[in-house]
Structure 1
Amino acid sequence: METIIVYLENMFASLPKTSEVEHLKRELLSGMEDKYLELKREGKSENEAIGIVISEFGNIEELTAELGIQPAGIEEVAPVLTEEEAYDYAAVKRSVGLWTGLGVFLCASGVAFLIFLVTFFEHNNIKAMTGSMETGSLLGLIGMFVLIAIAVGMFIHSGMKLDRFKYMEKGFQLPYELKMSLQRSQAHFALTYRVSIITGVGLCVLSPAFIFAGAYINDDYASYGVSVFMLMAAVGVFLFIYYGNIQGAYTKLLEEPHLTADMKERERIVGAVGAIVWPLATALFLFTGFVYQRWDVNWAIFPITGVLFGMFSNTYHILKRKNPS
């Protein structure tokens, strides 16, 4: 029966993806399945049953002509993705998730390192030889910028690895066997993905507890708690990015229908807003921390920003769907 399904998928590959065509395909599949089972009950072998079914149902031109369905133009037929290309894309997405996640972790580590050294040197009253700048601030800034520079290199490297898959944005098709294989792999990965997301959320939710714990022991320790908060939250974000990229690869390969131009534009706008909002939130976090020493409460900037950004994204998508023009 698997051979018949593959044959049917290939027959309909050149036809437009409309509801009428999908209905016709389902009707044909049902009829072919009934005929196949009937022939098997009559004692026909597997090959004989498949051959008879294909010979009786294999001519689709007459059916499409009667229904007025024309094959899609050459420009409308998306290229077929090979198994090697599909798995290569999935491997690159996994690698990109790793490098990007590590880059985000290094950025957070740089900020945590700066906060830790500033607090440590301030509490121990260690000054630089010039007397004009605390040693902790100087070393902390150097360490932070070094880690951020490494992270930026990781971001650039990971972004360039995906450049060779830009042709997929124009649309593609998957052979039936490859699609089924990817769906099975996605189903096996589902539990790992859920556990990683739950773990990441748990880390992000629990991370502020270190700030409260430090402040409870001694107000001077609150800043140390902020450093641990940054590192713990960064681990959670790493899980989101790494496992999210793996899930994103499956979603991209199996998405149907593929994103329209309007949907791609929506994603671009939301991404552009996010690229502005999150750096501003980080800058506000650092400003309120270093200038006003409010490490005990300013961590709330990130969850508040996340909620507001999520509200914007969802509202924007809803409004654009109602008013596509």
Structure 2
Amino acid sequence: METIMVYLDNMFAGLPRSPEVERMKQELLSGMEDKYLELKQEGRSENEAVGIVISEFGNIEELMEELGIQTEDAAETYPVLTEEEVQAYLAAKRSAGFWTGLGVWLSSAGIAFLILMDTLFESLGSSSDQGTFGIGSVIGMSGMFVLVAVAVGMFIYSGMKLGRFEYMEKGFQLPRSLMMTIQRRRASFALTYRVALITGVCLCILSPVFIFAGAYVNDTYAAYGVSALLATAGIGVFLFVYYGNIQGSYTTLLEDQHLNAAKREEARAVRAVEAVVWPLATAFFLFTGFVYQRWDINWAIFPIVGILSGSFSNVYHMMKNKKPS
């Protein structure tokens, strides 16, 4: 029976992904299974049963014409990924997630370092000694720019690692055996992903405690709490990015291959919006912090943006499917 499944996958490899084609494939598979079991009950050998089934159900053109399925898009075929390509993609996504997550943490740590140096040297200085405060600003800005520059390099590097897999955005297919292997790997990774997600959420939620604790001791210590908040929340974001990338690679391989053109366009739109919204949120966080000194509440911009970003996909989907009046 495995031979028939592989044959069926290869037979449909050159056809466009559509509900009609998927329905026809499932109906054909059901008919092949029934015929195969019938032949086996008659005493036919494995090879005889497989050969008869393939010969009776193997004319895909006649079946499509009989069911009225249009083939005008059949020229658009999707490549069948090999095991080597899948392993390379999973490794690239894991690596890209690590470097991107580390880059995000370094960016957060750079801002934390600037606030820490500013506050530390300001507390060491006095009203008659403004030089100490100037040194703190220079050291803090220098450290922040170095860390941000390294982070940008990591972002570029992670993007380059995934650049070779851009062809997958146009569509791909997986052999059944390889798909089952990926499903098992995703199932075994599920617990790790949940623990990482819960840990990251807890770190982000608890990180403002440093500000409240610092302010309780002394108003000056609240700024130190901001630095601790950024470093701690950055660890949480790293967990989101790294383990989310691994989970996303499994989702892409198992689910994105079935997306039609409209769904792929929706996914690209969501990614484009996120690429703009999150830098703006960071800029707003820094502006309100340095200009208005609202480090105590401006951290809330990140969970708010996260919720809005997550709901954008649903809004976009509803607007695309809205019937014109």
TM-score, L = length of structure 2: 0.87
Q: CA deviation at 1:323?
A: 5.6
- Does the CA contact (< 8 Å) of 2:171 and 2:257 recur in 1? no
1: CA distance, partners of 2:128 / 2:160: 42
- Does the CA contact (< 8 Å) of 2:18 and 2:260 recur in 1? no
| 1:64 partnered with 2:64 | yes
- Does the CA contact (< 8 Å) of 1:126 and 1:135 recur in 2? no
SS at match of 1:79: coil
1: CA distance, partners of 2:103 / 2:195: 22
Q: Which consecutive unaligned segments of at least 5 residues does structure 1 have?
A: none
2: CA distance, partners of 1:143 / 1:109: 10
Identity %: 66
SS at match of 1:76: coil
Q: Deviation string for 1:58-107 (max 9, x for gaps)?
A: 44444334334465666312222222122211211111111111100100
Q: CA deviation at 1:315?
A: 2.2
1: CA distance, partners of 2:130 / 2:281: 33
2: CA distance, partners of 1:160 / 1:16: 29
SS at match of 2:78: coil
Q: Deviation string for 1:301-324 (max 9, x for gaps)?
A: 222333344444532332123269
SS at match of 1:75: coil
2: CA distance, partners of 1:128 / 1:159: 49
Tell me the equivalent position of 1:85: 85
Tell me the equivalent position of 1:190: 190
Tell me the equivalent position of 1:176: 176
- Does the CA contact (< 8 Å) of 2:169 and 2:264 recur in 1? no
Q: Which amino acid aligns with 1:75?
A: A
Moved more, 151-160 or 305-314: 305-314
Kindly tell me the number of residue pairs found equivalent between the two proteins: 323
Q: CA deviation at 1:241?
A: 0.9
| 1:221 partnered with 2:221 | yes
Tell me the equivalent position of 1:97: 97
1:1-325 matches, within 5 Å, as 1-41=1-41, 45-69=45-69, 75-125=75-125, 131=131, 133-254=133-254, 255-260=256-261, 262-322=262-322
Change (3 A) 1:3 1:110: same
Q: CA deviation at 1:23?
A: 3.0
1: CA distance, partners of 2:187 / 2:36: 29
RMSD value, Cα:
2.8
Moved more, 267-276 or 87-96: 267-276
Moved more, 293-302 or 95-104: 293-302
SS at match of 2:34: helix
- Does the CA contact (< 8 Å) of 1:121 and 1:127 recur in 2? no
Q: CA deviation at 1:229?
A: 0.9
Q: Which amino acid aligns with 1:257?
A: H
Q: Which consecutive unaligned segments of at least 5 residues does structure 2 have?
A: none
SS at match of 1:162: helix
Moved more, 192-201 or 146-155: 192-201
Q: Deviation string for 1:236-262 (max 9, x for gaps)?
A: 1111111111122222222243352x5
Moved more, 315-324 or 205-214: 315-324
SS at match of 1:296: coil
Q: Which amino acid aligns with 2:170?
A: K
Q: Which amino acid aligns with 1:290?
A: F
Change (3 A) 1:139 1:186: same
SS at match of 2:159: helix
Change (3 A) 1:179 1:310: closer
2: CA distance, partners of 1:12 / 1:274: 35
Q: Deviation string for 1:26-50 (max 9, x for gaps)?
A: 2332233233334445555544543
2: CA distance, partners of 1:84 / 1:143: 42
- Does the CA contact (< 8 Å) of 2:114 and 2:144 recur in 1? yes
